[in-house]
């Protein structure tokens, strides 16, 4: 019973933020590793997509935006309460802003998704790339490591998370962590890519929080 360990279609990277130079605050860059595989002793848990979500926050000189992205599917394999392997997918069409209303909300979401005419490639271009994936390579000392693919580009990331059990239900909750969107060619408004933007830039880094619930299959 083998499976890749945690696909998170991430992200989730809704880039709406103020630049903070590429420095030690960004996530650790590591080489891509092989995805983890479950042992025969592991039990399969199905991700509850209604109870799981990814929260995002971005900022720019004039303010911040935040919202959520939904998961579309996933499985996690646990051995004595510890995740060994799994997979899950994020629906990039579900990008949602929570701090705006009406036309402003709709316009921002359309720009991020790439459904606004003429702006398809600015951010996530969901028509061409409707999902992203995160394949976990390990979970040790409350640190999740894996390979994140967005827009067909893959980079290794890691983030702190806590796993708890409640009967036959597993909850995985990360601390807020940062991702540099430009590593996945999401370059719109990036001062590090376009240095002549003045104060009209968007932060390269996004704050992400992952909240997963999975139940025994």
CATH number at 98 reads 2.40.128.110
Which of the residue ranges 1-15, 33-47, 51-65, 83-97 would you say has the lowest mean pLDDT? Answer: 1-15
Which of the residue ranges 1-5, 36-40, 62-66, 135-139 would you say has the lowest mean pLDDT? Answer: 1-5
Q: Is there a domain that residue 203 lies in? A: yes
Confidence of residue 128 (pLDDT cuts 50, 70, 90): very high
Mean pLDDT of the chain: 87
Distance between start and end Cα atoms, the chain: 13
Q: Averaged over 20-39, what is the pLDDT?
A: 62
Other residues' Cβ atoms within 10 Å of the Cβ of residue 101? 9
Which of the residue ranges 50-54, 84-88, 189-193 would you say has the lowest mean pLDDT? Answer: 84-88
Q: Is there a domain that residue 163 lies in? A: yes
Confidence of residue 30 (pLDDT cuts 50, 70, 90): low
Distance from C-alpha of 8 to C-alpha of 77, rounded to nearest angstrom: 15
Other residues' Cβ atoms within 10 Å of the Cβ of residue 200? 12
Q: Is there a domain that residue 126 lies in? A: yes
φ, ψ of residue 152 in degrees (nearest 5): 65, 20
Instruction: Summarize pLDDT for 56-98 with one digit per residue, the tens.
Output: 999 999 999 999 999 999 989 999 989 998 788 999 999 999 9
Q: Is 173 exposed, middle or buried (0-12, 13-18, 19+ CB in 10 A)?
A: middle
What's the confidence (pLDDT) of residue 33? 87
Other residues' Cβ atoms within 10 Å of the Cβ of residue 177? 19
Q: Is there a domain that residue 69 lies in? A: yes
List the domain range (segments joined by +) for residue 142. 43-216
- What's the sign of the alpha-carbon dihedral 145, 126, 190, 65? negative
Q: Is there a domain that residue 10 lies in? A: no
Q: Is there a domain that residue 105 lies in? A: yes
Q: Is there a domain that residue 154 lies in? A: yes
Residue 103 pLDDT more than 70?
A: yes
Q: Is there a domain that residue 130 lies in? A: yes
How many domains does the chain fold into? 1
The answer for residues whose C-beta is within 8 angstroms of residue 134's C-beta and 6 or more apart is 6, 7, 8, 9, 10, 11, 88, 90, 146, 147, 148, 149, 157
DSSP, res 105: H
Residue 17 pLDDT more than 50?
A: no
Distance from C-alpha of 84 to C-alpha of 3, rounded to nearest angstrom: 9
What's the confidence (pLDDT) of residue 2? 46
Write out the two tokens for 86: 């799994």
Confidence of residue 137 (pLDDT cuts 50, 70, 90): confident
Percentage of residues of the chain with pLDDT beyond 90: 73
The label of the residue with tokens 């009209």 reads 200
């Amino acid at each position: 019973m083998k499976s890749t360990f945690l696909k998170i279609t991430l992200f989730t990277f809704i880039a709406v933020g103020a630049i903070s130079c590429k420095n030690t605050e960004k996530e650790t860059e590591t080489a891509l590793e092989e995805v983890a595989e479950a042992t025969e002793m592991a039990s399969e848990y199905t991700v509850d997509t209604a109870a799981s979500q990814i929260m995002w926050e971005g900022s720019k000189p004039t303010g911040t935006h935040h919202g959520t992205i939904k998961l579309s599917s996933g499985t996690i394999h646990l051995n004595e309460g510890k995740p060994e392997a799994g997979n899950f997918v994020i629906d990039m069409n579900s990008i949602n802003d929570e701090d705006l209303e009406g036309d402003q909300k709709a316009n921002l979401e359309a720009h991020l998704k790439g459904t606004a005419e003429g702006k398809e490639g600015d951010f996530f271009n969901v028509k061409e790339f409707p999902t992203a994936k995160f394949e976990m390579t390990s979970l040790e000392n409350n640190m999740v490591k894996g390979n994140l693919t967005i827009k067909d580009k893959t980079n290794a990331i890691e983030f702190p998370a806590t796993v708890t059990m409640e009967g036959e239900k597993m909850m995985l909750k990360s601390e807020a962590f940062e991702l540099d969107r430009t590593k996945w060619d999401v370059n719109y408004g990036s001062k590090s890519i376009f240095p002549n933007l003045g104060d009209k830039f968007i932060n390269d880094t996004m704050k992400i929080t992952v909240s997963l619930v999975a139940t025994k299959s």
